[in-house]
């Protein structure tokens, strides 16, 4: 997320980022997993941004997905927050919650993103990511969901089949 934020805020243009030593860049993103690999990807992506897009972050899905290290979730986050195209970005929390509820029946986050974006009314797409992710981090946690604290038990496939 930190990488995305750097670009979202445009506080660190690619030309400047390329001037950082690998160690310095790694330390900036270190809370992220695989930070050494991500450092290399980030530098490759900066070269691509300069060569293909004049150093600007492109505003289409295809152009974003063509950049090194940019996947579906990152693209959805950028489209949503930077380019104001309401989209539900699916991370591990969103994937878990919507599948437990039975809103989707998917095994990959990409399929979950396709399915949930297809069925969610436009007006709810602005905030759905935050609502679902918060529910997944605080109540519907991975190992032991706190179903006794959840207001969605009546609607939840997991609760009806695994808990009751
Ligand atoms: S009832 Fe339990 S499994 Fe279902 S959404 Fe709530 S916390 Fe998650």
- The pLDDT tens digits for 118-145 are 999 999 999 999 999 999 999 999 999 9
Token output for 33: 């997993």
In the chain, what percentage of residues exceed pLDDT 70? 93
How far apart, in Å, do the first and last CA atoms of the chain sit? Answer: 37
Is the entire prediction scored with pTM above 0.85?
no
The candidate with the shortest Cα–Cα distance to 77, out of 89, 67, 86, 66, is 89
Residues 6 or more apart in contact with residue 157 via CB below 8 angstroms: 100, 101, 102
Domain boundary among 46, 61, 81: 81
Ligand 1 centroid vs 147 CA: distance in angstroms? 5
Instruction: Clarify whether residues 27 and 56 are in a common domain.
Output: yes
Domain boundary among 81, 106, 132: 81
In this structure, are residues 136 and 130 in contact, taking their beta carbons and an 8 Å threshold?
no
Question: Is residue 7 within 6 Å of ligand 1 at its C-beta?
Answer: no
Question: Is residue 159 within 6 Å of ligand 1 at its C-beta?
Answer: yes
Instruction: Clarify whether residues 119 and 67 are in a common domain.
Output: no
What three-state secondary structure class fits 139? coil
pLDDT at residue 2 is higher than 90: no
Question: Is residue 126 within 6 Å of ligand 1 at its C-beta?
Answer: no
Q: Quick one: which atom of ligand 1 is closest to the CA of 150?
A: 6
What three-state secondary structure class fits 152? coil
Q: Hunting for tokens 């609502």 — which residue is that?
A: 131
Ligand 1 centroid vs 113 CA: distance in angstroms? 20
Ligand 1 centroid vs 145 CA: distance in angstroms? 6
pLDDT at residue 10 is higher than 60: no
Range of the domain at 119: 92-163
Question: Is residue 146 within 6 Å of ligand 1 at its C-beta?
Answer: yes
pLDDT at residue 45 is higher than 80: yes
- pLDDT mean over 7-30: 83
Instruction: Clarify whether residues 69 and 119 are in a common domain.
Output: no
Ligand 1 centroid vs 120 CA: distance in angstroms? 19
pLDDT score for 1: 46
pLDDT score for 5: 52
Domain count of the fold of the chain: 2
Q: Catalytic pick from 73, 123, 144, 157?
A: 73
């Amino acid at each position: 997320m930190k990488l995305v934020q750097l670009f979202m805020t445009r506080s660190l243009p690619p030309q400047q980022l390329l001037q950082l030593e690998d160690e310095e860049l790694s330390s900036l993103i270190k809370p992220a997993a695989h930070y050494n690999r991500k450092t290399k990807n980030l530098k490759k992506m900066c070269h691509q941004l300069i060569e293909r897009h004049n150093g600007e972050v492109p505003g289409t899905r295809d152009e974003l997905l063509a950049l090194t290290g940019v996947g579906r979730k990152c693209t959805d986050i950028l489209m949503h927050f930077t380019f104001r195209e309401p989209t539900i970005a699916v991370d591990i929390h969103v994937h878990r919650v919507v599948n437990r509820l039975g809103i989707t029946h998917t095994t990959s986050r990409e399929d979950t993103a396709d399915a949930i974006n297809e069925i969610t009314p436009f007006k709810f797409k602005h905030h759905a990511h935050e609502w679902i992710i918060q529910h997944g981090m605080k109540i519907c946690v991975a190992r032991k969901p706190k179903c006794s604290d959840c207001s969605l038990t009546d609607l939840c496939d997991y609760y009806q089949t695994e808990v009751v």
